[in-house]
Structure 1
Amino acid sequence: MNWDIIERELELRTSRSSGAGGQHVNKTESRVELVLDVEASQGLSRRERDNIRFHLGNRLDGQGRLSVTDQSDRSQHTNRKRALDHLRQLLERGIRNPPKKRKAGAFKANSRKRLASKKRRGEIKAGRGKIDF
């Protein structure tokens, strides 16, 4: 992952924040939305893009773009910095390899326990027969 290239590819959108804040909210565009086109990004390798689709597929829109929004502060600059940090954390978490599939099957200890239980039950049933004197 080449963060410098990714930063240049980001699309930055600003808008007015929602919520309380009086006149300040009505006149400043402090809400920041960063959009990264994962499918077209030159800063990500093919494997990293596949891993991001696997891990963050529910966060991608129909065109394969990842969007991060922040409006927690009154300052656009602070919100932009927070959104960048959040996007970087998401990408770092998303590029890790998917977990390897393990062969399914019973554990050996469980098999031994089951067989021992069957053997005990069989001995109990065998003891119910007629007794020769």
Structure 2
Amino acid sequence: MIPSKEELVKECFFKTSRSGGKGGQNVNKVSSKVELIFKVQDSSLFSEEQKLLLAEKLSTRLDNEGNLHIISQEDRSQLLNKQRTVFKLITLLTKSLQVQKKRKPTKIPKAVIEKRLKNKASTADKKKNRKIIDY
């Protein structure tokens, strides 16, 4: 179960900086790039099992200290970028906390096996009949 947006924001740390790219003078003046830093191991919102699951699933996205960094610089507004980072965090956490069901191996039906073998035999006969027999 994912905690509410407000609870997550309380445990996040935000950094702002100037973003590159288009925007003219706005890029040079305004710090619109937002970086969200979330400490997975220090979070009080998740149980120990959930923290282990998050650490395992997000292992490629965590830094050496176990912090999750999410960056957004798509909009010209700092507020919109901040909202985007929070939304990205929520989607990332929901995806990584989902546990997949174990796959039950199914048996191949006899009719399917027989059909495949019959098809193989007919193909083999076709190719056998193409041969030129030399007496």
What TM-score do you get using the length of structure 2 for normalisation? 0.71
- Please tell me the root mean square deviation across aligned C-alpha atoms, in Å: 2.6
Secondary structure, counterpart of 1:58 in structure 2: coil
How is 1:1-133 mapped onto 2 (pairs within 5 angstroms)?
A: 1-3=2-4, 4-100=6-102, 107-109=107-109, 113=113
Q: Quote the offset at 1:57 in angstroms.
A: 2.0
Secondary structure, counterpart of 2:59 in structure 1: helix
Which residue identity does 1:59 align to in structure 2?
Answer: R
Q: 1:16 and 1:99 mapped to 2: Cα distance?
A: 44
Which residue identity does 1:60 align to in structure 2?
Answer: L
Which residue identity does 1:109 align to in structure 2?
Answer: P
Q: 2:64 and 2:102 mapped to 1: Cα distance?
A: 27
Which residue identity does 1:113 align to in structure 2?
Answer: I
Q: Quote the offset at 1:97 in angstroms.
A: 1.9
Q: Is the 8 A contact 1:49 1:95 kept in 2?
A: no
Q: 1:24 and 1:70 mapped to 2: Cα distance?
A: 16
Q: Is the 8 A contact 1:32 1:71 kept in 2?
A: yes
Q: 1:81 and 1:63 mapped to 2: Cα distance?
A: 25
CA 1:30–1:84: 2 relative to 1, 3 Å: same
What TM-score do you get using the length of structure 1 for normalisation? 0.72
Moved over 6 A (4+): none
Q: Is the 8 A contact 1:51 1:98 kept in 2?
A: no
Q: Quote the offset at 1:55 in angstroms.
A: 2.4
Paired-residue identity, %: 32
Q: Quote the offset at 1:6 in angstroms.
A: 2.7
CA 1:60–1:26: 2 relative to 1, 3 Å: same
Unpaired runs of 5+ residues, structure 2, are: 122-135
Q: Is the 8 A contact 1:51 1:97 kept in 2?
A: no
Q: Quote the offset at 1:27 in angstroms.
A: 1.0
CA deviations 1:24-71 (Å, max 9, x no partner) are: 101110000101010111111112212212322221122211111111
Q: 1:80 and 1:113 mapped to 2: Cα distance?
A: 56
